[in-house]
Structure 1
Amino acid sequence: MTPSGAKHSRLSLARRLRLQQLAIFEKVVEAGSILAASRELAMTQPAVSKSIHELEQQLDGVLFVRGKRGVVLTEFGCLFQRHTKILMGELRYLAEDLNAWQTGTAGHVVVGSLIAASATLLPEAITRLRAAVPDVVVTVRVGPNSVLFPALARGELDVVVGALPAEDAELLRQNHAERAELEHVALYEEALCVVVGSQHALASRRQLCLSELHALEWIVPTQDSAAHASVRSFFKKAGLAMPRRLVESVSILTNLGLVSAGSMVALMPQSAAERFAQAGLLAILPLEGLSPFSSVGYTVRADRGPSAATEHLLEALRGVGRSHAAGVDASACIPALYA
């Protein structure tokens, strides 16, 4: 029974709502218009419109504002979307578990990657995963903590790999539907290096002090990254303010392109810097004072166990992590990605 005056209950929604309606709603939100969604779903536009109209009637609320350029979620629609993301995420987990039960090896893992993992830890772990279970599909999404951890809590990601945050509560406080207990597993400590392009005038120097570089153009991690506090401390210990000519970026490819093609100086996670230096793309400058800024590892939801496919990836991550912690080049133990 529903409370006095309440229109909805778990059972009443279960009777009225259909999973196909939720999938259509999700696609309309993603596509931004009913016409575009109908094309992607291989349905007619009237059929999609009818499904959304029936959903609005069943919920007794307007989900979209229709316009010439498409549709936009109403406030009511945003509320419904938050819960739909979780429901559809759980449906994906169900499909993964059923596939794993029936095939034992197939599956799909959706990984969120931070900069500290994007050049070494994750590529090496995926290579190990492919050698063990070649039929598993891996989708990698890159972003900052503030985007990836809420997505993990909603079930849109299976695991986040990278620098572990000191505190995740602030990242997850926005919406009740996004609150979930996260489990952080540390694999090894990560430090930062100061790098320049391999052809830079400073690349061959054997002795340097930070003050010589302060006036140059710098690439530093963004203010919401785990490494930012360590960067500020690095300059402060040398009696220097943060450089004035800054690019704030956690895009490993953007940073690599800027440094290798010009005169910029960058702060980069040591594991990534060493990989690019070995490839002849960068030079690591002989500067001291940068202590480890964070533990690197992976984060999963603590309130549900991983799928079989995700567990295979976690085991691969742990194997690579043990090699890094022991000071071994993990890529030497598996087929090289950057040969």
Structure 2
Amino acid sequence: MKGKPMAFSKQALARRLKLQQLAIFEQVLASGSISAASRELHMTQPAISKAIHELEEHFGQALLTRSTRGVQPTAFGSVLRKHCHSLMAGLRLLADDLNAWNEGVSGKVMVGTLLTAAAQVLPHAILRLRDIAPQVVVQVDVGVNEKMFPQLLRGEIDVVVGMIPPSGHLPELVHTPLLEDTLCAVVGRSHPLATLRRIRLEDLRGCDWVLPLSGSQAMRAADIFFQTIGMNRPTRTVESVSILTSLGLLVDSDMIALMSFNVARQFVQLGLISMLPLPQEVPLTQVGYTLVRGRTLSPATQRLLQALEEVALGRIDIHPTHKGIDAR
């Protein structure tokens, strides 16, 4: 195989080389002979010899020298062998990554969430997911359904976790309830109402409130809340979807905030806020996850949904009347 050395390019190598040929070449050198490689690869010796010959024809160079002691790489073969090691190692890593992805133990899940789920249900599910699939990356974006659902339909996020909308809303979406929640009124620990064991509507009127965003499903739930307790929607308000902003306003002022019971319960137990004992019970809402109907889910997303359902089954502990919560 003499003549002018052949010039190689990435495109030419990708077009003509076969990974199986390189794997055979590597195994022949690792085994020390064609006969030993045939046993390792469960191939006939002629098939192995043919693969080596095709490589030599492609490169225009001899790759092996044969002797009674077996086969050794030529100088050109040694160069090829070095890169074969890297290629085969890369293939093994690729196989591991693909298998991990198929099993849902790697990959990335994009989650849109509302405050109703962001403070407790979703974090517990993410922690459970990390126990079984620590390589999965979960990216969380907080907002309202009116923002999240269009992103979900565009494929920018994989699942929305939060308040389930009324039936008939966007037929392209399918909703799975996980648990029931309710809205409650909360204040900072130093608020004048925080120590009262009984709240009258007169105590609530004229106060400044932290409410959900206008036009959002959460605000529609807030309107039902006020109708239920016999109040008009307050006019002196701050609208926020940020739990940190809401907490900051409550701690540093005499504002009242509407908050998911499940969210508020955590901060009451931490001693940051107090829950007001309302004169009437308020309707329950459903919290769950939303997907695009018929869209194939990645294994990692399926794992997260499984974790959400497991967490919900172990955490259905809603008290609409707020009994058992220290409202002082």
Name the TM-score, length of structure 1 as normaliser: 0.61
Contact 1:186-1:298 within 8 A present in 2 as well: yes
- The 2-side partners of 1:306 and 1:102 are apart by 11
- The within-5 A match list for 1:221-240 is 221-240=212-231
Pick one of 298, 310, 315 that aligns with 1:319.
Answer: 310
Corresponding residue for residue 166 of structure 1: 166
Contact 2:208-2:236 within 8 A present in 1 as well: yes
% identical aligned pairs: 46
Residue type at the aligned position of 2:140: V
User: Greater CA radius of gyration, 1 or 2?
Assistant: 2
Number of residue pairs matched by the alignment: 223
Is 2:200 the partner of 1:202?
Answer: no
Contact 2:184-2:260 within 8 A present in 1 as well: yes
Q: What displacement does 1:147 show?
A: 1.4
Q: What displacement does 1:236 show?
A: 3.1
Is 2:300 the partner of 1:309?
Answer: yes
Q: Look up the SS of the partner of 1:306 in the other structure.
A: coil
Compared with structure 1, are the counterparts of its residues 288 and 182 closer, same or farther at alpha carbon in structure 2 (3 Å cutoff)? same
Pick one of 272, 280, 298 that aligns with 1:289.
Answer: 280
Q: What displacement does 1:325 show?
A: 2.0
Residue type at the aligned position of 2:232: A
Corresponding residue for residue 133 of structure 1: 133
Cα-to-partner distance string for 1:75-116 (whole Å, 9 max, x where unaligned): xxxxxxxxxxxxxxxxxxxxxx95645675111000001111
Compared with structure 1, are the counterparts of its residues 126 and 216 closer, same or farther at alpha carbon in structure 2 (3 Å cutoff)? same
Q: Look up the SS of the partner of 1:152 in the other structure.
A: helix
Contact 1:183-1:299 within 8 A present in 2 as well: yes
Root-mean-square deviation (Å): 2.2
- The within-5 A match list for 1:19-30 is none
Q: Structure 1: which 5+ runs fail to align?
A: 1-96, 171-179, 329-339
Name the TM-score, length of structure 2 as normaliser: 0.63
Q: What displacement does 1:278 show?
A: 0.4
Q: What displacement does 1:240 show?
A: 3.0
Q: What displacement does 1:292 show?
A: 3.3
Contact 1:230-1:293 within 8 A present in 2 as well: no
Corresponding residue for residue 206 of structure 2: 215
Residue type at the aligned position of 2:178: L
Contact 1:159-1:299 within 8 A present in 2 as well: yes
Compared with structure 1, are the counterparts of its residues 118 and 168 closer, same or farther at alpha carbon in structure 2 (3 Å cutoff)? farther
- The 2-side partners of 1:314 and 1:252 are apart by 24
Compared with structure 1, are the counterparts of its residues 167 and 216 closer, same or farther at alpha carbon in structure 2 (3 Å cutoff)? same
Q: What displacement does 1:246 show?
A: 1.0
Compared with structure 1, are the counterparts of its residues 157 and 207 closer, same or farther at alpha carbon in structure 2 (3 Å cutoff)? same
Corresponding residue for residue 278 of structure 1: 269
Q: What displacement does 1:267 show?
A: 0.6
Cα-to-partner distance string for 1:127-175 (whole Å, 9 max, x where unaligned): 11111111110100111111111111111111100001115746xxxxx
Between 218-227 and 147-156, report the one with greater CA deviation.
Answer: 218-227
Corresponding residue for residue 27 of structure 1: none
Corresponding residue for residue 266 of structure 1: 257
Q: Look up the SS of the partner of 2:217 in the other structure.
A: coil
Q: Look up the SS of the partner of 1:227 in the other structure.
A: helix
